[in-house]
A and B are shown apart, each in its own frame.
Chain A
Amino acid sequence: MRHAIAQSIGLGRAAMLAVGLLAGLWVANSGLLDQIMVYWDDIAFLSRQHMVLVAASGGAAILVGVPVGIWLSRPSAERYAETVMQVFNIGTTIPTLAVIALSMTILGIGFPPAFFGLFVASLLPIVRNTYAGLLAVPSHLKEAATGMGMTPIQILWQVELPNALYVIFSGIRTALAINVGTTPLAFLIGGGGLGELIFTGIDLMDTGMLLAGAVPTAMLAVLVDFLMGQAQLRLIPKGVNPLR
């Protein structure tokens, strides 16, 4: 079973490499590469801006989302937990573009509204997975831990969080995927980033410019997901990691 999965992952990688190689050949031969490279300075500057946005809003979402998820899963918060989760759920049904637009009406234009909109959009998967992951820790583990004389904090750190870690990580991975995918929209409210090249390229019907924004955005998304996948594989203890 594991062997088969490993094999299919290997096949998938090979196929991806082949597609990437062909696409690269096509781009190089069609002269598009030159058209893209014209914007190299812009790409470098905007990529940095883009990554700062992703890192800041994603990082803030993790720093806020995980503790909120933990708090909601405590017995003391049981009364509010479902209500809060409902509010968050309604929050996700609002399209991210609308969230960004709404945050502009309050915070104006520039980095702050972009940061805030992305932060809100990434928050929910993290809170939800942290909450659900902690609630899914089998009650007999908590009973055993309590019966052995662990304090609630010790149970949280030594038993609940390690056993919920895989689910929490999945939430963070989803959140960052949403975040990276939404960040180009930040340009629309003056937040900068690679969206500047994409949207301007669309407006000017300039394929080179459009690709100069789209290709790094795509690569960044793939890179972030790859890094998260590796982190999930390596950081989660062996006993509770279905990947190992």
Chain B
Amino acid sequence: MIRLEDLTKTFATPNGLVVAADKVNMEVPTGEICILLGPSGCGKTTALKMINRLIAPTSGRILINGEDTSKLNDIELRRNIGYVIQQIGLFPNMTIEENICVVPKLVGWDMKKAKSRAAELLDLVGLDPRHFLRRYPKELSGGQQQRVGVIRALAADPPVMLMDEPFGAIDPINREIIQDEFLKMQAALKKTIMFVSHDIDEAVKMGDKIAIFRAGKIEQYDSPDRILAHPANAFVADFVGADRTLKRLRLVTAEEVARADAASAARSASVADVRQSLASSGERIAVVIDGDHHPVGFVTADELQGASGRIGDFAHPLPASVPVRADLRAVVSEMFAHDTMWLACTDDNGRYAGVVTQPAVTAALRATYGGANAGAA
């Protein structure tokens, strides 16, 4: 857990006192990612760097897991906090292995343990240790370097990590991939992370909580969904953008809105049986699945009227299907692309897992609005 209490930083400049952080109060629960978001010069980086004291606070307290960090000396404090910066900062004179082992060595790990840790971490981000341990940073691509930058910060297994626009210098395609990898790692490692970003999409994707900064003050500190659905003021609304409702689509997966009990029928089922079950449940469409439970087509109730035989003979091909793990933005995009009101979902093995409909998507978006409005009223 990281807690900031009345954290303040003022700089004396020739033009007078500049307040970079103004009584910042916030708490990041253990195992969560908190994104510090805002335009440049808003104090988000200052707030972050005060935690590992690269910038000395003017006043206020910082507590990590309940302990006041002012009691620790700078060196001790920093060795227990992972730190990742936008420029990565891998040391060009050291091999990848030496780079990863820097902090373990500083805190006095056995070299053997440090080396096996380096190999293990490289494996974790999909870089083959046999190829990469002995290489120098300049021999790696930008994306590979950034992965090494992240695992270097994780090397000594610090409970807390600070990340200063860690994926800011990577091209958009690789950024998405590295973000996904990082989220997967975080799901297993459960670090407490403060993460500076100026990209609202990144914040929504990565954050359990988002703190929006302006002029050294926190304008709003909330979950991504609440920031998008209920911006606290005009500045926040403006900052998250006019398309904030669409951005919320990323926060929900197909699984959450899919109807797993939507009608389905085996190819070999008889038309009469399916017609009857559709009539009794009041549904108009049934997804046709094959012997392996993969969705292969659909039939409509109307077409089954008065027909007989096997369902397989009446099936239309499916326009498209989406994995249940996809977010609603991908789902809606598929719906628009195929001009359809519904899509079949598949699980990790490609097996039928339910149906997502456009009304279900809009209902999911409305739920937060409705709930909160009721709360406010």
Which A residues fall within an 8 A CB radius of B? 138, 140-141, 143-151, 154, 158-159, 162-163, 165, 237-240
In the complex, the chain B residue whose C-beta lies closest to that of A142 is: B89
Chain A residues with CB under 8 Å of B93's CB are 159, 162-163, 165, 237, 239-240
B136 touches A149 (CB 8 A): no
What's the Cα separation between A52 and B136 when bound, in Å?
Answer: 40
Asked if residues A140 and B85 are in contact (CB atoms below 8 Å), the reply is: yes
Flag if B75 contacts A149 (CB, 8 Å). Answer: yes
B75 — nearest CB in chain A belongs to which residue?
Answer: A149
Q: Which residues of B contact A151 (CB under 8 A)?
A: 75
| Chain B 139-196 interface residues, beta-carbon cutoff 8 Å to A | 152-153, 162
Question: How far is it, in angstroms, between the C-alpha of A150 and the C-alpha of B78 when the chains are bound?
Answer: 8
Contact of A239 among B54, B87, B88, B94 (CB under 8 A): B94
Q: Is the CB of A148 within 8 A of B79?
A: yes
A residues less than 8 Å from B138 (CB atoms): 239
Nearest CB in chain A: distance from B147 CB, A? 15
Kindly state whether residue B231 has any CB partner on chain A within 8 Å. Answer: no
Q: Which of B78, B87, B92, B95 contacts A148 (CB 8 A)?
A: B78
Shortest CB distance B107–A (Å):
8
Contact mask for chain B residues 87-105; partner A; CB cutoff 8 A; 1 contact, 0 none: 1111111110000001100
Whether A147 contacts B136 by the Cβ 8 Å rule is no
Q: Select which of B75, B80, B89, B153 is within 8 A of A143 by beta carbon.
A: B89
Q: Is the interface of A mostly helix, strand, loop or mixed?
A: helix
User: Are B92 and A163 in contact (CB-based, < 8 A)?
Assistant: yes
Q: Are B102 and A138 within 8 A (Cβ)? A: no
Residue B46 is within 8 A (CB to CB) of chain A in the complex: no
Residue of A145, A148, A150 with most partner-chain B CB within 10 A:
A148
Which A residues touch B95, using CB under 8 A?
239
The answer to whether B137 has its CB under 8 Å from any CB of chain A is yes
Q: How many chain B residues touch the partner (CB < 8 A)?
A: 30
Per a CB cutoff under 8 Å, which of A144, A237, A239 touches B83? A144
- Name the residue in A140, A149, A150, A240 with the highest tally of chain B Cβ atoms < 10 Å from its Cβ: A149
Q: Say whether chain B's binding surface is mostly helix, strand, loop, or mixed.
A: mixed
Closest A residue, CB atoms, query B79: A149
Return the 10 tightest CB-CB contacts between A and B, nearest first.
A144-B89, A149-B79, A239-B136, A149-B78, A147-B83, A162-B93, A140-B87, A237-B93, A239-B92, A240-B93
Q: Which residue of B lies closest to A239 (CB)?
A: B136
Residue pairs across A and B with Cβ atoms less than 8 A apart, 13 shown, are A140-B88, A143-B89, A144-B90, A145-B91, A147-B54, A147-B162, A149-B77, A149-B103, A162-B93, A162-B94, A239-B93, A239-B94, A239-B95
Q: Which residues of B contact A143 (CB under 8 A)?
A: 54, 85, 89
Please tell me if the beta carbons of A240 and B92 are within 8 angstroms of each other in the complex: yes
In whole Å, how far is A164's beta carbon from the nearest beta carbon of chain B?
A: 10
Chain A CB within 8 A of B52 CB: yes
Q: Nearest-CB distance from B16 to chain A (Å)? A: 24
List A contacts of B91 (CB < 8 A): 141, 144-145, 158-159, 162-163, 239
Most A C-beta atoms less than 10 A away, residue of B89, B93, B137: B93
**Supplied contacts A138-B87, A147-B81, 7 more A-B pairs, CB within 8 Å:** A143-B89, A144-B88, A148-B106, A149-B77, A149-B103, A149-B106, A158-B91
A148 to B83, Cβ gap below 8 A?
Answer: yes
User: Does B76 reach chain A (CB closer than 8 Å)?
Assistant: yes
**Complex Cα–Cα for A144 and B74 (A):** 14
